[in-house]
Amino acid sequence: MADNPFNSYHSKEGEFRAEDPILQQEEEFLNAEAAVEALSKPNASLEFCTLSVAETLSQLETDPVNGLQSAEDLANRGARYGKNEVVAEEDGPLWKKFLSNFVEDKLILLLIGSAFISAVMGNFDDAVSITLAIFIVVSVGFVQEYKSEKSLEALNKLVPAECHLVRFGKESHTLASGLVPGDLIHFRIGDRIPADLRIIDSVDLSIDESSLTGENEPVHKSTKLIKPETFSDGIVPISDRTCIAYMGTLVKEGHGKGIVVGTGSNTSFGAVFEMMSNIEKPKTPLQHSMDKLGKDLSLCSFLVIGLICLVGVIQGRPWIEMFQISVSLAVAAIPEGLPIIVTVTLALGVLRMAKRKAIVRRLPSVETLGCVNVICSDKTGTLTSNHMTVAKIWCLGSMSNKLNVLNLEKTKSGSLKNYLTEDVKATLKVGNLCNNASFSEEHAKYLGNPTDIALLEQLPKFGMQDIRSSLKKIQELSFNSKRKFMAANMSDAEGKCTIYVKGAFEKVLKKSSHFLNEKGKPEKLTEAYRNTINECANALASDGLRVLAFAKATLNDSMKSKKLEEESVENLTFCGLIGMNDPPRPTVKPAIEQLLQGGVHVIMITGDSVNTAVNIARQIGIPVIDPKLSVLSGDKLNEMTDDQLANVIDHVNIFARATPEHKLNIVRALRKRGDIVAMTGDGVNDAPALKLADIGVSMGRMGTDVAKEASDMVLTDDDFSTILTAIEEGKGIFSNIQNFLTFQLSTSVAALSLVALSTTLNLPNPLNAMQILWINILMDGPPAQSLGVEPVDHEVMKKPPRSRSEKILTHEVLKRLIGTAACIILGTIYVFVKEMAEDGKVTARDTTMTFTCFVFFDMFNALACRHSTKSIFEIGFFTNKMFNLAVGLSLVGQMCAIYIPFFQSVFKTERLSLGDLIFLLCVSSTVFIVDELRKYFFKKKMEDEPLYYSNV
């Protein structure tokens, strides 16, 4: 349903709907009904949309310029309205959740029934033992699930909402959670609205409200109040409240100011969220695949367990014993905790990525990270430092020779007043007035677009001041990727109106008819002069500079009242060019080298000219052997179909003068070829490409909220090299999942096969029900979980990207776990038969030796599973502290089971001598030795056949 107002909640939290279309339609219908009901209820936006700006300011006792004025008033409002957060209700107390685990699992219910039957038959020891085992098994599962929930809650708090707040007359960039009604908010293109706002000022303002209303077209907003009497029931529908900006919606065009009228649950979004907070969140694709794997394994296990029970009863064994062993085997063999451990591993990995400045917003994206084979990266702010400085200024009037450029980087004197000719002054003035950056006293710096900030920072060097406050801005034409320029209509004290324009030099030059000479007088712009400007702009771009052109036009009386539109900006007087420097980040070059070694195709996409793009690409290590083949400009891209682009894109490393629409075409062409694409972006118009890419990557500092919403990953430091660490982490997480899967399944197969073989050969059962349950705790508990947090091996980046269709249980993993299980089975049966042969019957010593042998095998197996191809002597014994602690505690637990009298009665064990333990350690270490030999021969084969490594 297109009009489902809750769709955005699922995308925001990174959840994916179930694949069943009938269930999906039913869920969407219920969601839509609930949302419509929630939105129809009265709230702050309904009240204030019918009030004028003056009435709103009066009622909330706030100021349209300075915001709230009193700290005491702020504290009172904070206490009254609470935090500006929408939080889902708790599911209930922990003890209720814990107790529910005893009745939700049918296998646990069977064990409870078994304990009850044992008690009725007088076997109180068995009843107590089984009850204790049930408590331990349920506790381990509950702790895992609780850890998973808490990890996911932590993920949702990694990208807190921020806003531009004016309070006590000072502007700051702050968290939205602290807003109260009456606060003054500035918002611009790409921002997310932080609360329900009554708009008091708007410039070319359009807001995307699809997250709330389901309507895809942005809504034009103004400051005019809405008259309720124009509606039949007197209630203004949410889609008609055009003077309200809703919490969670996104600014598509323009900018404005608004007064907070509703926060938290008293917002329109809050009403919907509260209504739907109880909807169950669907599982991730990896969890679905783990569920399917678990069901398949469960089916096989049930068949084997059923046969074991049937054969045992036919052989005349006690049915209660066979029943208890069968249920215990089912609990141990069926990996019901697998999806939980997968979630914990993914969530912990994502939290680890966050510490490395990469916030993954959606858990399924972790799977895709290891498959990425093409990275399309924006230049500014990602490959470069995003700290703009004015490097060179050139004006046609005073510097008519293209080689005569004012190089500010080489000018040693602090003051540049001597270079302030009239045309240079006019160029800087246009840069000053065509500018939306503002100075924040709280942060002691300018806030806004880096380009705007750089232009303002340059003024004092020339002895000029920021004069925006002395002029009145009548209209503004905001910059966007299609227009490629910004225009502002300003009026001075005498009422004289002038349009000031800055933008891409091709666009500005095309609209110019005159130029400003050295004395500030306009002259005719001839074709020869145009060629000189073009040559100079290209020369500046060849130095790796971003080139902007500046122009102005004085309006006559007939033009003053007309609306400022793109077509009306013409007959400009060209003032000059400014080349801005944004040096490459020092971490980018080594990161690109490592990606190229790992078979990842790195593509730079920029709106800058071809010359600028090539210069930067060579600095950061992107191969540009032949610019004619390696570089594609936006003009050429416009003439190509998706199929044509797909055919040539393999050798293209740079796209210059590219628009966000071009990004979309590039991603589409790459995906058509079957590539797995990561795409970076920071602007509003980048959102479609970010959403289409397999991994959309947005910028945390300079990125717009629209881009963050569409992305799968946010780089909090805007640094390209962080993508490398995220891919490395993603590959490492997938490798860890395979490792603990090998450990779990090999233990499960070994335990099941051991009892099956003993029953088939008419031997006594080597393990009793309690011992099997203890093995299950080790298999699903801390040792398995600790494998999921194994530190990432940097060597994973040398492996080529994984295929999207590659299964978790690859042939190599299957061969490894079957070999490991066989080793455990043979070793354990050898110990069991050897011990039994000494006295001709099964004693407590025999089962204790067998039980301890299996547990030791498990611990050595866990040690071997820390890495699939590297020896433990290479990765180090102490690099995973959690693993060492988990194995240490497991061994302590095993010692308690065979040496403490209470546990001896529970597990039916007896004391072993030091010689027995040494003998068992020697036998059980064979699984570790065999796996070390496998890794050794793998390494030899990798050295002899390097291509073999890429297929494993």
| CA dihedral of residues 74, 80, 83, 88 (deg, nearest 10) | -170
Contact criterion met (CB below 8 Å) for 710 and 574 = no
Token pair 């590219």 is at which residue?
Answer: 658
Contact criterion met (CB below 8 Å) for 363 and 14 = yes
Work out the angle between the directed axes of helices 914-924 and 844-864 (0-180°, nearest 10).
40
Cα–Cα distance, 677 to 435 (Å, whole number): 35
DSSP strands (E only) in 416-471? 438-440, 445-447
Burial class (CB in 10 A: 0-12, 13-18, 19+), 910: middle
Cα–Cα distance, 666 to 649 (Å, whole number): 8
- Token pair listed for 606: 């920029």
By C-alpha distance, which of 886, 756, 891, 749 is closest to 814?
A: 749
Work out the angle between the directed axes of helices 106-120 and 319-333 (0-180°, nearest 10).
150
- The DSSP bridge partners found for residue 499 are 489, 553
Cα–Cα distance, 214 to 29 (Å, whole number): 13
Cα–Cα distance, 194 to 248 (Å, whole number): 6
By C-alpha distance, which of 6, 85, 161, 13 is closest to 704?
A: 161
Q: Phi and psi at residue 895, in whole multiples of 5°? A: -65, -40
By C-alpha distance, which of 11, 446, 424 is closest to 211?
A: 11
| Residues ≥6 apart with Cβ < 8 Å to 521 | none
DSSP for 743-791, please give it.
HHHHHHHHHHHHHHHHHHTTPPPSS-HHHHHHHHHHHHSHHHHHHTTPP
- Express the helix, strand and coil content of the chain in percent, nearest 5 each: 55, 15, 30
- 644-651 contacts: CB < 8 A, separation 24 or more? 645/669, 646/670, 646/672, 646/673, 649/603, 649/673, 650/601
For 243, other C-beta atoms within 10 Å of its C-beta total 25
DSSP for 722-746, please give it.
HHHHHHHHHHHHHHHHHHHHHHHHH
Reduced to 3 states (helix: H, G, I; strand: E, B; else coil), residue 180 is coil
* Strand 522-524, strand 497-504: pairing: unpaired
Cα–Cα distance, 737 to 778 (Å, whole number): 17
DSSP for 37-65, please give it.
HHHTS--HHHHHTTS-HHHHHHHHT-BTT
- Token pair listed for 109: 């219910």
Angle at 701 between CA 696 and CA 707, to 5 degrees: 35
For 318, other C-beta atoms within 10 Å of its C-beta total 10
Distance linking the first and last C-alpha atoms of the chain: 43
By C-alpha distance, which of 624, 588, 877 is closest to 718?
A: 588
Q: Which residues are catalytic?
A: 378
Start-end of H helices in 196-284:
210-213, 268-276
